């Protein structure tokens, strides 16, 4: 009897130990799972914080970029707005064949805003001019001209002239040389045409009472009268406008 009792106690002890071990193992796994879950939650929270920080940084950068662009645009706009006296100084310091053309006039309170382009002759280099002389042809404004460098009445400056085959020679261009290179000029009926390009554009503030004088029509009227009577700036093409007999700007919109 005693042996059976001892065996029974031993088995009970063995199963108890197994149960304790199982509980410990399960407790460890439960703790591990809970710890992993806590770590994952913390990592997720950190990731969300990083995303929020990144989004805030992007938003802040966009605002700064917008502010910079607005400030730059404002600065450029302020630089581009000129007084008539500023344009006068540019005119006085301009080289031969440099000029302005008005492209638009709009009312702005008690003043008027004139948009003008500043044109300068398109000069060809020594190398380009040599090629023209050699090939005896040149392309101007998309048209091909015959180039002649022989000495005759059409070669006004001695650098040659260009004309379209089959058309009057005096309707072409003669060549002049300046500090920048060789430029092409034409004159028909007292109107000069120069192969040129826009160097800059300006916006000028003009007083509505400022008087304008038109050479071709011999008219004198104020800016306000001009805008009211001539809605389209192209209606006064090829006219030179003198503001109070001091400032000269061409209205030729070609």
Tell me the three-class secondary structure of 135-165, residue by residue.
HCEEEECCEEEEEECCCCCCCCCCCCEEECC
Residue-level pLDDT at 135: 92
Residue 206 CB coordination number (10 Å): 24
Please give the structure tokens belonging to residue 125: 């280099």
Per-residue pLDDT tens digits of the chain, which is 254 residues long: 444 444 555 777 777 777 788 788 787 778 777 777 777 777 777 777 777 777 777 777 666 666 555 554 444 444 466 777 777 777 777 777 777 777 777 888 878 888 888 888 888 999 999 999 999 999 988 889 999 888 777 777 788 889 888 888 778 888 988 888 999 988 777 667 888 888 888 888 888 888 777 666 677 778 788 777 765 565 554 456 666 666 666 654 44
Starting at the edge strand that comes first in sequence, how are the strands of the sheet with 143-148 ordered?
Answer: 137-140, 143-148, 161-163, 173-178, 181-188, 191-194
CA distances from 191 to 123, 155, 174, 188, 196 (A): 20, 19, 14, 5, 15
CB atoms within 10 A of CB 187: 14
- Terminal-residue alpha carbon distance, the chain: 129
Q: CA-CA distance, 142 to 140, in Å (whole number)? A: 5
Closest CA to 150 of 142, 158, 139, 138: 158
Tokens 């005096």: give the residue. Answer: 170
Q: How many CA atoms lie within 13 A of 197 on its CB side?
A: 7
Predicted pLDDT at 119: 85
Which residue in the block uniquely carries the two structure tokens 């309707």? 171
């Amino acid at each position: 009897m005693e042996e059976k009792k001892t065996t029974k106690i031993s088995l009970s002890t063995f199963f108890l130990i197994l149960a304790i071990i199982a509980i410990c193992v399960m407790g460890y796994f439960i703790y591990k799972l809970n710890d992993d879950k806590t770590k994952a939650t913390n990592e997720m929270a950190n990731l969300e914080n990083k995303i929020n920080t990144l989004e805030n940084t992007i938003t802040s950068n966009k605002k700064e970029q917008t502010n910079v662009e607005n400030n730059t645009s404002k600065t450029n706009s302020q630089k581009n707005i000129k007084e008539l006296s500023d344009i006068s100084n540019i005119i006085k310091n301009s080289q031969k064949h440099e000029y302005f053309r008005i492209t638009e006039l709009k009312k702005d309170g008690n003043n008027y805003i004139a948009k003008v382009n500043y044109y300068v002759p398109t000069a060809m280099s020594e190398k380009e001019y040599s090629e023209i002389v050699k090939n005896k042809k040149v392309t101007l404004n998309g048209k091909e001209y015959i180039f002649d460098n022989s000495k005759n009445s059409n070669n006004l400056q001695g650098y040659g002239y260009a004309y379209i085959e089959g058309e009057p020679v005096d309707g072409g261009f003669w060549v002049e040389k300046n500090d920048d290179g060789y430029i092409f000029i034409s004159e028909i009926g007292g109107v000069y045409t120069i192969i040129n390009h826009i160097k800059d554009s300006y916006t000028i503030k003009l007083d509505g009472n400022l008087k304008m004088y038109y050479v071709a029509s011999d008219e004198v009227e104020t800016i306000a009268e001009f805008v009211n009577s001539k809605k389209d700036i192209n209606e006064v093409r090829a006219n030179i406008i003198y503001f109070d007999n001091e400032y000269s700007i061409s209205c030729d919109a070609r």
